[in-house]
Amino acid sequence: MKNIKDNTEKLQKVLANLGNGSRREIEAMIAAGKISVDGKIANLGDRVDVSANPKIRINGHLIQLRSKEKEVCRVLAYYKPEGEICSRNDPQGRATVFERLPRLKNARWINIGRLDINTSGLLLFTTDGELANRLMHPRHEIEREYAVRVFGNITDQQINQLRKGVQLEDGPASFNSIKAQGGDGINQWFNVVITEGRNREVRRMWEAIDVQVSRLLRIRYGNINLPKGLSRGTWMELGIDSVNYLRELVGLPPEVKSFTKTTSSSDKKIVRPKRIKLNNPSKSPRRATAKKPTRK
């Protein structure tokens, strides 16, 4: 007897791939009874066949299903300024990273990881939920590099302690590398590398050795550097070489189409920046007066 091919996928995976949240967030919505399939409240473990065009609703809103063959994986590099949060909406009315991004039709931008409100620098967005979920999974151990400004004289003993590891409330943590970058007076800059994405991990590691971080800037994610020509609050779309580099990192097949014109390896994984007009210029981030760290 021949096996019948199963075209179904887990409901949370389908919705995550469409950019409706992480799988964990969607599982929480399913458990709370906020998701329905063809008029019936969904349960954890439900599977759906997208080709059958099921009517999936979240909080009563119909979700548009798209054919994967028509999708093109897109990735943006955004220079997040301090003062923005990594949420789509904020009850307190604070600025969010999504406000400055380009509008999409029948798709949405998904942030790959987060930066806290007081951290600036490189933040990647994609239209591919599976890519975002895999890049955020700790098993892939993707490097994140930060430029950190701290107050005070840092001893060799403290540096060795950060390399060896410190104990945080959610477990031990250590920097893969830490390099002094100089500074002025009591302001000292360091470049540090981690492979995890725990909440406020870099700040908490310095605090564990009684050192206060005064500025934190992410300058690299994997092999994608914060572009030198990108100013705070603006974005650029990455070329196909960058997109496929990220997809290869997590075992996804390469893309053959791109929304950018540049596809050669000489692109160095970025394209020319595209600036957008701000809806409210008064919300533009203030320029920092401190000495800037060296970007790679």
Pairwise CA distance, residues 280 & 277, whole Å? 9
The arithmetic mean of pLDDT across residues 92-111, rounded, is 89
Q: Above 90 in pLDDT, residue 237?
A: yes
State the catalytic residue, choosing from 116, 170, 210, 267: 116
Residues with Cβ within 8 Å of 285's Cβ and at least 6 positions away in sequence, in order, are 81, 82, 83, 232, 233
* Residue 2 confidence class, pLDDT cut points 50, 70, 90: very low
Residues with Cβ within 8 Å of 266's Cβ and at least 6 positions away in sequence, in order, are none
Q: Which CATH number fits domain 143-221: 1.10.3720.10, 2.30.110.10, 2.60.120.650, 3.30.2350.10?
A: 3.30.2350.10
pLDDT value at residue 85? 94
pLDDT value at residue 68? 47
Q: pLDDT per residue over 239-295, tens digit each?
A: 999 999 999 999 999 998 887 764 433 333 333 334 333 333 333 333 333 344 555
Q: pLDDT per residue over 87-100, tens digit each?
A: 888 888 899 999 99
pLDDT value at residue 216? 97
* Residue 114 confidence class, pLDDT cut points 50, 70, 90: very high
Q: In the chain, where are the structural domains located?
A: 9-69, 71-138+223-283, 143-221
The arithmetic mean of pLDDT across residues 147-153, rounded, is 92
The arithmetic mean of pLDDT across residues 70-83, rounded, is 90
Residue in this structure with the two tokens 């009315």, named with its chain if needed = 93
Residue in this structure with the two tokens 């054919």, named with its chain if needed = 67
pLDDT value at residue 296? 53
- How many CB atoms neighbour CB 105 within 10 A? 5
The arithmetic mean of pLDDT across residues 223-235, rounded, is 92
Range in 41-50, 190-199, 287-296 with the lowest mean pLDDT? 287-296
Pairwise CA distance, residues 215 & 117, whole Å? 12
Is 6 marked active-site? no
Cα separations in angstroms, 226 against 35, 73, 144, 153, 191: 38, 20, 11, 28, 14
Which ranges of the chain does DSSP label H, i.e. alpha helix?
A: 11-17, 23-31, 129-136, 156-164, 201-207, 240-249
**Global pTM value:** 0.72
Fold match, 9-69 / 143-221: no
Q: Look at residues 260, 241, 257 and name the one whose alpha carbon lies nearest to residue 69.
A: 257
According to CATH, the superfamily of the domain at 9-69 is RNA-binding S4 domain (3.10.290.10)
Q: Which CATH class is domain 71-138+223-283?
A: alpha beta
